[in-house]
Structure 1
Amino acid sequence: MSPALNSPAEIHRWCRNFPGTHDQIRAARQFVAGYLGDHPETDTARLVVSELATNAIRHTRSGLPGGRFCVTVLAGTSLLILSVLDEGGPTTPRLCQAHGEDQNGRGLHLIETLTTRWGVHGDQTGRTVWALIPLSPVGPGT
């Protein structure tokens, strides 16, 4: 169990800023995995943050030279909140219809499938896209 989640009665929060480059998507996944350790939802959380970070880099000013994005992980006893703050852009993240073999537009559908709920706050100057993941009980006897 990760040191971050070894006190189930507490709420834990970690944040980290990343340069807006594609290699930092892997670093964001590692950041989340380092927080959750061997928790049952680690793989789901890594996939969700990967999609959110990818969207920040592909669709906002975070992906421009000098751009950044911030990952926040907030965990209580039964819920994990993952969020990515980007530097804004002209469009708001939304579910869209993917056509045929086109891979664009599938990330938010995946997030919707893997999470309890997700949403967006902010505007063209900066947005936070967040997702809720229920946490399985861990500890003695589970």
Structure 2
Amino acid sequence: MDVYPVGCELVWRRAFPGIAEHAHSAREFVAFLLADMPVLDDAVLVTGEFVANALRHTASARPDGRFIVEVRRRPDSATIALTDQGGPKEPTIPNVDDMSECGRGLYMVRALASELTWSGSHAGRTFTATLKDGSR
């Protein structure tokens, strides 16, 4: 897509069941929408990390749980957001070293994205990463 109305972006949103089998579907959803963009690979990685965190740390993985993926596309960037059903722990980006066995997900997203934010509470959080062409 080369033509965007001035000041506009394209936006898609889809809910997925909170089970591991749908992580692939979420990544495919993002890949389809951003297939011709330079940030495609990073967007798919970010989506995978967001989904993994939702399924590992939040109520989205409970029976009948779900998560929502939103994609915002602009001519020179894309934003991936995931809304989960919340969890008891406040998200953090820990300091990791070569011996750390976990905790690299949001650390990696922060390295890939030009901006990483989250908001919400134990009842539900939205994680948002903006990827710009040449953001690294």
1:117 lines up with 2:121 in the alignment: no
Point out where structure 2 has 5 or more consecutive residues left out of the alignment: none
Partner of 1:140: none
Cα deviation digits, residues 78-128 of structure 1 (max 9, x gap): 2211100000000122101345151x2000110011000101110010100
Cα deviation digits, residues 30-57 of structure 1 (max 9, x gap): 0001101232111110000100011011
1:24 lines up with 2:25 in the alignment: no
The structural deviation recorded for 1:7 is 2.9
Partner of 2:37: helix, strand, or coil? Answer: coil
Q: State how many pairs are aligned.
A: 131
Partner of 1:134: 132
Question: TM-score under structure 2 normalisation?
Answer: 0.89
| Greater than 6 Å deviation, 4+ residue runs | none
1:54 lines up with 2:52 in the alignment: yes
1:8 lines up with 2:18 in the alignment: no
Partner of 2:53: helix, strand, or coil? Answer: helix
Measured in 2, the distance between the counterparts of 1:109 and 1:25 equals: 20
The partner residue of 2:80 within 76, 79, 82 is 82
Measured in 2, the distance between the counterparts of 1:53 and 1:111 equals: 12
Aligned 8 A contact 2:70 2:80 in 1: yes
Partner of 1:27: helix, strand, or coil? Answer: helix
The partner residue of 2:89 within 87, 91, 111 is 91
Point out where structure 1 has 5 or more consecutive residues left out of the alignment: 137-142
Question: TM-score under structure 1 normalisation?
Answer: 0.86
After superposition, the Cα gap between the structure-2 partners of 1:79 and 1:38, relative to the gap in structure 1 and judged at 3 Å, is: closer
Read off the aligned partner of 1:37 and give its amino acid letter.
Answer: A
Aligned-residue CA RMSD (Å): 1.5
Aligned 8 A contact 1:80 1:132 in 2: yes
Partner of 1:139: none
> Percentage identity across aligned positions?
34
Measured in 1, the distance between the counterparts of 2:74 and 2:37 equals: 13
